[in-house]
Structure 1
């Protein structure tokens, strides 16, 4: 294999790992095979040098002097002079015939600055590498690091021979810069020409007089379609307007639609847009500035207005309305980028419930972008707010960006840093400060419901208005997330790709791995993406609201998609509006605030008697919230952690997913619930089957993953309820496919770790006694887990430091180790080791207790709770006691803490996991059911339900949701809950 091929293979994923695969890939996707690519690569080594020699043959740039201010800001000016001079000179000649530019010299200085900064941004990595290479090869002269750096600036960069050497080393960099400067200079001319040609229209439309152009401010957005981007035109009267390089009829029509809608339904203005003078392929737009609210009433009105906006955007099917695309101006949320307001959704063949339910999320308010949400980096474990509704707090990018350090020395280098990001324009401001949305969720809901109900009651009128204003409007087609393009372009500027054109081109072909090239549509789109990326642009695509033709920013047709057009889809969305759907959207709005930790309960619970019995209320709510497809049933839920959240269909977990739903439904004798049990089981089986045996570590645990469903399978088998066709093969295959991952698992707790898995393995041995291969494998895995847990304890004297709790702490491990020990021979070393570890832990705990007997818990734990608090610990101690663990103090401790829990003031929360209903359910299993406890459970359950009716959301699971509360109000349900908590 040649060195060139080895280098190219490193650019691709494991799907292309040898010469043969690379050759097939190139042959099928380009006009040449691997050998031809290698030949061209070698040939370019000479052609690239000749190209640079020809480009730099004219020495006129040597006399070119830049502005003094630029010399201070950009050290490497001389390196870019050969390029910038050519285009500055052309622009200077062009400006001679222009009358609409106020101060041409000053104007040109600003353009010059932008040119050099662009060169700097593309080439800094290459220049830094070059400086360090020169230092290592001793070509920089000077007594210290600063003097050697100055030698590079003042001597080498002033030498035409060195500049020739540099660009012959990196000819692709020269080509990239040259193409970029050509495109931008042409774009500057286009802007000036269009401004001058439409001057009288601009003055008349915006009410200006005697206009002149002072400056063009770039860097307002990404470049598309040969270097074009949104720009701010600074005018001679201290005013500004926005120049957008596209037709903006959709904005014009949106404003007309808004005015007619407000008039038809007797409302003040409902949508706020900058005034727009739209031309055939470009537009001039009013410059709206961020302005703070004048009063608290203004703040409230802003959030009501953004609620109304959210309703419209949801019904339009809009996407991408994050914090950059909405601007806060007093009480008005201005729409400043409406390319995606009419979003095209491809027709998908939905053949599974999981897909259908994800489709429900994709069609919900969650996908609009306005709601509080976080851009999260899994690799860096960092998130950043991106929603138009946000906290107003300072933001830091979750992705590292480059920053130059040791500037001014020959040891200059690039380091990766997390940079602070400025406030969103959508963030509300009042009295000089940003305002968090957390106190104004009710205002958002009010505005949303107002517009939703108006459209719901007047479908036909609104549909006609949609047809009237939005037929044949151009709208953006989003094929891929813009961040992917931006990162791809950044990486394409790596020095290793700039030495040879065919290294750069090979890197561009990586885009073909981002889609299915066997699909004609994907292949066509990706090839156009590559063409646009090659020019240094972020790819952009458009479609019409009345057709399915996809074309690029230069209006070259790419493909025609099947399915309904945008207008028909919007009409369908309007037809699908309902009271049930309104409630679903309101729940999602609430969950977005909750998941972002911006949720405040700032109104009283609905003061009304529950019209129906608590159980009927909850059962009807569970049934009404279900999603059903092909006789499979599930629900939406939210997973939230550290201000990052995801709203998605339930997965198969026990904590808040369908495994828990199955156990809860099966524990309650109710015909309505029994009628859906099979549908939930089928959904869960198909979800697991879709995973194809691949379960990440985070999806293994007893409460968080696949082992939870193994537990469910065993429990239902004991009850005579079939979950899978062949439970023996199902359990065996899951154990086998996860065995290696379990062996290297470091999480020890019961929720997602080894203690919980151990409990399930013990359950499998208990239930699957007639299957020797399942029992043998389960026992081998159990032995290895126990060996590891004992080893950890003997090494450090605990399993989890400073965390005695049950769910994530030591008592969860203790309980399951003791449960396992009951399978061991009485005199076995294994059993003795387990008893020793548990007794040693109990003794040390007692020595640490003070006279008040308060158990020190993990930081921020709720003392009276099951998960991390004393309630889970007491349940564990009770389990040890009733199963005859040899300790004389357990009975006294259980009695003392159970009485204390029963008599303490109740928590604010009522869930099973960390609230009152869970505490009472556990205590009832310890001291026995009685009417007083049952009354307390009912009373606390009613408070829980009233809270849910007031602050509705999708939370149906057994540990924190409504099904768990329902179970607590049935004797059979309480028994099931206590068994689940102990994994009995």
Structure 2
């Protein structure tokens, strides 16, 4: 290797390798200022404490870092040892070329690295067979498959850089062939030539280094695996093949899992039709898990479970290959889920996590876990400085529940637009797309190839007990899951003495290593993938800055900072970081088995035994509620429609007194107080909540108004005004402490609509008056300014999650500070609606992204929450507030579209989510209740004659179908009653006000006889406003004093007479 190339390759060195001989650094220090500012300007380093910690982790100060950033290539090359790893770049020997439409085109550019490694593997496999009568490997087919997998890995690592260089070549006019494919071939030929290859890797030396690491690890690990196959052959035959020799290996599927510890990963080895799974780790924990499963079966489980048969070899192991098989019939599917319930109990006991769908195989009617390395998880340092004390209590409760196993449905990786995925062992469903866009190559094989960011389709693992295209409704199996959990819970606690004895199956886990996940492997995988952007492949220090994304979590959990150097080392190796601990120890080990200094953990085995001692009927009830709640959330996330709860509404003689209604609301307040987690002047709840009306999940409440803590706080504030009971005022104020902290740290809430920041601003503006706390008014202004900056990104448009809800919610903030940010945000939201309106056959409309992205309808919806009616109403509000005729005209046109959806025969507005438009509901979110409110609000704009008929139709439908649904505001009686009451006030009709009061009295009676019926499937309750307890209580307060308690259904502004 000549000195010029060696100098260029030296820039690949990471920071740690540059820290010797620093006295000899030469360079222009002022030139480094921009790079240093960029590094220091990223979160969390804007906080000087975190920047100081980052520098201390490397044992350097800012002055030295500045000098390193300024160092010239010649100085760096002179200081460091020659990069012998790059000798292959100057090797001019010929290499094969791959062709065709779907081939790893780029890998031959690194052919002088790749093909010698493949030859080394071929020789090793051949040599291993020399002294065997039956060859252990069918060498050529095995090597061909392994090499093909390696070529694709190399191709993927090079893709983004090659796309950039192709674009530059095209722009310079270097490519002269007649067609796009020819120009691509010309580019590849130029790049494969010695000069082109040298230029590529001299400009991107980090890429060359990472390729060398990956290919070298592949070679060494493949040869190691081959030697282990031969050395373990007799034991493999005894364990998995009835003692009969397995014969010749015909294929090896490498890379069947993430790479750890120098690129080692799971592989599936084929001996003809026989497959055995190789794992490059001890399987001691798997063996003990299998013994525990056998103990449970012997103890009398109704439906026996199955564990994977294992062979532990200390530093590696082998496991049986479990093939997926669909259940034979419907009864078998029910038995499958009962067994799942049993598994949940065992995994809950064992403090398991990461039980996602890829770790579970449906082997007929038996669910089989094929990876149990994350049992008996320790407690990590609990020093999250961004959580309020109450949040910490709530998060701990969730973390100690079945939610932590990863088996129950839950949306993860929720992006700012509300997209998410469910990767859980029970909830992962076919047809999902990743929620986080990833770089993909488009136009491969042509000179128009480029990198696009796209959400990719997710493969469906083998965890479902039915055929891939078969429908599966999880709520149908809730009773089975609960029954299996209950049976196993009782069995384990009835025999807890035997289970936790010194010679029992729990104690046997002592001393076995378990893996510890400090954060999701998706975070690590994303860092690795984005670490191949060409901008961070020119200089190792740029890649170091990229990997400092790891420090972002330190703002939340400073105690985990000690692990970052180990994470960084693993990522530089191309690995997913790997940590372990002993279930009975407090030491965390890195991937080299070295203790992580300064990070002690609380061992998981004593915690599991302690928890088992406390298991009782209350614990059982709470965990069954978690099971049912998670399934209910999954149903709301996946079903286009589902059955809403119903109840029998009794006939009453007359209205309830205002005092009785306030007392009923106070009982709701007392329930919320009893359910609250409170500490340090803050409050939080666990329950079903959502983001922008989607991504329902069971856990700590999000901060929003619709289904989060803001709605609960708003109700408690109104309750304090109605009762004068300081307990409610205190609890409301404590809730706002948590809400403000949630918003300050970002995430969990969108920027638009009733269910976003505008809804929080509405709640804060109202609570500022109720609680006499002016700081809440300022917090409302802050939320409003954030919304204003994000208005143009709204893709939902509707009242719940879009610009229409922004207009409605910010009227309350505008009323306090006319002409401020709220006024600007209302105008921006209305203008956004004008820009995005889609012409229809009659009028205009908008289809929310939630509806369009999931193909729930092929045209705009009717109704208030998600429909055009609510958007028309909001535009009318903007027109009245800002006196803008453009908004008036748009409201007219939107009203014309919705009018066209009225079915005069059925006397309902069609729900276009249903193909024939007949499956309608009558509620605030969809149907007549919300449409009534929209028409009442548009009355001044369009005149009485234009709305009188619709008002009459809506009231008729509400009486016919809008009562007895649930007690909720969104799609229940509280919403119907509120809308009817509002109509009575706006239209000055005493009969409607009296009718609403009678229905409220009937609803009140049923809360005593049937309990609270929230607007959730499967009888679930939630603390929240629109579908939960807070909304039921708010409904009672609204009827008790409608002129003081504004309607939250229209985000009404107090003191705005005769407006809904």
TM-score tier by shorter-chain length is 0.7 to 0.9
Judge conservation of contact 2:381–2:560 (CA < 8 Å) in 1. no
Find the aligned partners of 1:156 and 1:918 in 2 and give their Cα distance. Answer: 67
CA 1:625–1:70: 2 relative to 1, 3 Å: same
| 1:302 equivalent in alignment to 2:336 | yes
Q: Of residues 419, 425, 436 in structure 2, which corresponds to 1:399?
A: 436
Question: How far apart in 2 are the matches of 1:764 and 1:78?
Answer: 62
Question: Which residue of 238, 261, 267 maps to 2:301?
Answer: 267
Aligned equivalent of 2:512: 473
1:870 is matched with: 928
2: CA distance, partners of 1:107 / 1:792: 59
**Residues 656, 958 of structure 1: 8 Å contact kept:** yes
Tell me whether 1:80 sits opposite 2:126 in the alignment. Answer: no
1:29 aligns with 2:58: yes
If you compute each CA radius of gyration, which structure gives the higher value, 1 or 2?
A: 1
Equivalent positions of 1:70-219 (< 5 A) are 73-76=103-106, 78-99=108-129, 101-137=136-172, 139=174, 142-151=177-186, 157=192, 159-160=193-194, 162-206=196-240, 207-214=242-249, 215-219=251-255
Q: Show structure 2 runs of 5+ residues with no match.
A: 1-28, 651-662, 847-859, 914-918, 985-991, 1055-1060
The partner residue of 1:491 within 514, 530, 536 is 530
Task: Give the alignment of 1:534-933 within 5 angstroms.
Answer: 534-559=572-597, 561-562=599-600, 564-597=602-635, 625-629=675-679, 633-640=683-690, 644-651=695-702, 653-661=704-712, 664=715, 677-690=728-741, 698=750, 705-713=759-767, 716=770, 723=771, 727-732=773-778, 734-735=780-781, 738=784, 741-742=787-788, 745=791, 777-778=817-818, 859=912, 864-875=922-933, 896-897=952-953, 900-901=956-957, 903-906=959-962, 909-910=965-966, 911-923=968-980, 926=984, 927-929=992-994, 933=999
**Root-mean-square deviation (Å):** 5.1
Describe the SS at the equivalent of 2:466.
Answer: strand
Q: Residue 98 of structure 1: CA displacement?
A: 1.5
Tell me the equivalent position of 2:261.
Answer: 225
The Cα shift of 1:558 comes to: 1.7
1:216 deviates by: 2.5
Deviations, residues 392-421 of structure 1 (Å, cap 9, x unaligned): 432333334444444444444444444333
For 1:524-535, what aligned pairs fall within 5 Å after superposition?
524-535=562-573
Q: Confirm whether residue 258 of structure 1 aligns to residue 293 of structure 2.
A: yes
SS in 1 for 2:696: strand
Q: 1:57 to 1:642 in 2, by over 3 A?
A: same
Q: How does 1:58-77 map to 2 (within 5 A)?
A: 61-62=93-94, 73-76=103-106
Whether 1:422 and 2:459 are equivalent positions in the alignment is yes
User: 2:693–2:801: 8 Å Cα contact kept in structure 1?
Assistant: no
> In structure 1, what is the Cα distance between the partners aligned to 2:438 and 2:830?
44
Structure 1 residue 864: Cα displacement: 3.0
Q: For the residues of structure 1 that align with 2:891 and 2:470, how far apart are their CA atoms?
A: 57
Would the aligned equivalents of 1:751 and 1:808 in 2 still touch at CA under 8 Å? yes
Is residue 554 of structure 2 the alignment partner of residue 515 of structure 1? Answer: yes
User: In the TM superposition, what whole-angstrom CA distance separates every residue of 1:565-620 from its partner, at most 9, and x where no partner exists?
Assistant: 111221233244343343333333233223333579899999999xxx99999788
Q: CA deviation at 1:191?
A: 1.8
Q: What is the rounded CA distance, in whole Å, between the counterparts of 1:608 and 1:820 in structure 2?
A: 38
Aligned match for 1:277, one of 311, 316, 321 = 311
In the alignment, what sits opposite 1:388?
425
Supply the distance in 2 between the matched residues of 1:936 and 1:895 (Cα, whole angstroms): 24
Displacement, 1:779?
6.7
Q: Name whichever of 5-14 and 165-174 sits farther off.
A: 5-14
Partners of 2:106 and 2:154 within 8 A in 1: no
Q: Using the alignment, how far apart are the partners of 1:137 and 1:837 within structure 2?
A: 52
Which string of whole-angstrom CA distances, capped at 9 and with x for unpartnered residues, describes residues 1-51 of structure 1? 766664676567535699999999668735543223432644457889985
CA deviations 1:804-829 (Å, max 9, x no partner) are: 8555678878989999999x9xxxxx
Partner residue of 1:719?
A: none
Moved more, 675-684 or 179-188: 675-684
> CA offset at residue 539 of structure 1?
1.1
- Aligned-partner Cα distance in 1 for 2:628–2:170: 58
Work out whether 1:246 is the aligned partner of 2:281.
yes
Asked if the contact 1:803–1:809 (Cα under 8 Å) also holds between the matched residues in 2, the reply is: yes
Distance 2:441 2:358 in 1: 27
Superposition TM-score, scaled by structure 2 size: 0.76
Report how far residue 349 of structure 1 moved.
Answer: 5.0
Q: Is the Cα contact below 8 Å between 1:317 and 1:342 reproduced in 2?
A: yes
Instruction: Give the equivalent residue in structure 1 for 2:1026.
Output: 959
**Cα distance, 1:549 vs structure 2:** 0.9
Find the aligned partners of 1:939 and 1:566 in 2 and give their Cα distance: 48
1:372 corresponds to: 409
Structure 1 residue 226, shift from structure 2 partner: 1.0
Q: Which moved more, 1:29-38 or 1:928-937?
A: 928-937
> For residues 65-110 of structure 1, what are the alpha-carbon distances to aligned partners after superposition, in whole Å with 9 as ceiling and x for unaligned?
69x9999944456433321343234334434542362333443333
**TM-score, structure 1 normalization:** 0.81
- Count of residues in Structure 1 that have an aligned counterpart in Structure 2: 949
3-state secondary structure, aligned to 1:593? helix
